Amino acid sequence: MKVLVLGASGGVGAHLVRLATAAGHEVTAMSRTRIEVPGEARLVVDDVQREGAIDAAVVGQEAVLSALGIRRAKASNPWSDLASPPDFTSRTAALLVDAMKRHGVRRVIAVSAAGVGDSRKGLNWMMRFFIRWSNVGANYRDLEGMETVYAASGLDWCCVRPTGLKDGQVSKRVRQIDSFPFSEWISRADVADWMVEHLAADVSSNRTPIITEGRA
């Protein structure tokens, strides 16, 4: 399958490029900065919000994997200033939907977060605190806007909602849950692996699954 990866320089995005290429897909990785990609992958260095950039990248693709998200100046500090526009992900989703429709690309799988949208009721109290009182809330509002764009698009879409993200390798033990307790974490590699494995899967019964690492 011909696959466009957005956010290819990020934690999940780098794994998406590597795993999709290893699975035999024809990968185009899009990044604002020059990054290392597998030899079989194609790198497009461009800004997703530059006029015409996404439109050009979508041409000839069969699916899109998006790991885009707004960033803070210091990722580890929930109160750090935003390093991205507060509507970066949702605005880019709108550009992507227009481009996909124009060029006949139907499938998009994007990274969201557990606690976005109708999963907010399943959040633990600590995440509720951060969303209300820190810039983590800006990320959640933007992701909710992104999901709304895809839900209204008429495309074959899925916004996967991982629990807390951590470093680590692919475990092949991903499971779906209904809430986000303190103890639930998942590696960025596992999120990417789930997305690649579901590139051609029927997700119509649950377009916003919450995923976490399975227990041994």
The pLDDT tens digits of the residues spanning 53-89 come to 999 999 999 999 999 999 898 888 989 998 899 999 9
Mapped onto helix, strand or coil, the DSSP state of residue 101 is: helix
**Mean pLDDT within 197-202:** 96
pTM exceeding 0.75: yes
Query: What mean pLDDT value characterizes the chain?
Result: 94
**Mean pLDDT within 39-59:** 96
If we measure between CA atoms, which residue out of 119, 145, 100 comes closest to residue 2?
Answer: 100
DSSP 127-187: HHHHHHHSTHHHHHHHHHHHHHHHHTS-SEEEEEEESEEE-----S-EEEESSB-TT-EEE
Return the pLDDT at 86. 94
**Mean pLDDT within 145-169:** 97
Return the pLDDT at 216. 60
